[in-house]
Amino acid sequence: MKNIKNLLLVLLVSILFSACQDNEVEKVQDVSNQASSNANKQIENLQTPKLPNLQSEIFDGKNKTTDSLIGTVDFKNYIYPLPRGWQDVDGKEAMLENGGRRMSGDRIGLSYVATKFGDVTGDGEDEAFVILKIETAGSAIPQLVYIFTLLTEEPELIWYFRTGDRADGGLKDLRADDGELAIELFGQDRYILGEVETSKITGDLEQLCCPTFFTRTRYKWNGKNFQLQGKRETFSIQDKFVPPVNNKGDEKVKSKK
């Protein structure tokens, strides 16, 4: 009987010891699996870096409201002219309904992005800067900008232009600045050319997803149109302490002579 009790005791100890070993093995396996998972995530992050949000300043909430009458206009349901290069087959204006316009075989698709406000005509009342996105069924972000003023009952369109796609002259931001209209486009020495589309200099090539430069230009209203003021400033996005390069495209032209 005593031998049986001893045998049972030895068996119980063996079972408890085995269970403890199994728990330790499971803990080690859990730690190992967690470490492996973290390592895989780090590798994935290195292989697929997070793309920058190129529309962050457009959606930053600044200048989104106004006390001027222009703020009551419903620009999500409005008729817009289309600039050269982005016109429908019939050449007619585009009607936006509930912030959108479906793309089809004979017309471009549009979607409402945002409206910002600021006084850029010097009349003491804000203008509306309406931003629409051209739908391309892909990752491109070409956009249209419309500047409206309201002197009577109906808004008056005083300027509109198209921008490029992301690093290729895409819209970074626009705002009223000391009575002038400041426009920032991604890329080197990018500005509105011919009052419709953006300029492009030779050699300004980089990945569309990830611009490393942007250009700031200023425009002043003369009662009839907006005129470029001062120098075109190209800033580095990667190093904010580097001073801007002025009129960089002019340097390219001079070097060819």
Q: What is the pLDDT of residue 252?
A: 53
DSSP letter string, 190-236? --EETTTEE---TT----TT---EEEEEEEEE-SSSEEEEEEEEEEE
> How far apart are alpha carbons 251 and 201 in whole angstroms?
10
pLDDT, mean of each 10-residue run, the chain (257 residues): 53 52 52 57 58 92 95 97 87 94 90 98 96 91 96 91 93 96 96 79 86 96 94 95 93 50
- The identity of residue 61, as a single letter, is G
> How far apart are alpha carbons 69 and 131 in whole angstroms?
19
Q: What is the pLDDT of residue 256?
A: 47
Q: What is the pLDDT of residue 150?
A: 93
- The identity of residue 51, as a single letter, is L
Beta-ladder partners of 127: 118
> How far apart are alpha carbons 183 and 215 in whole angstroms?
8
Q: What is the pLDDT of residue 162?
A: 93
Q: What is the pLDDT of residue 7?
A: 53
In degrees and rounded to multiples of 5, residue 37 shows phi and psi of -65, -45
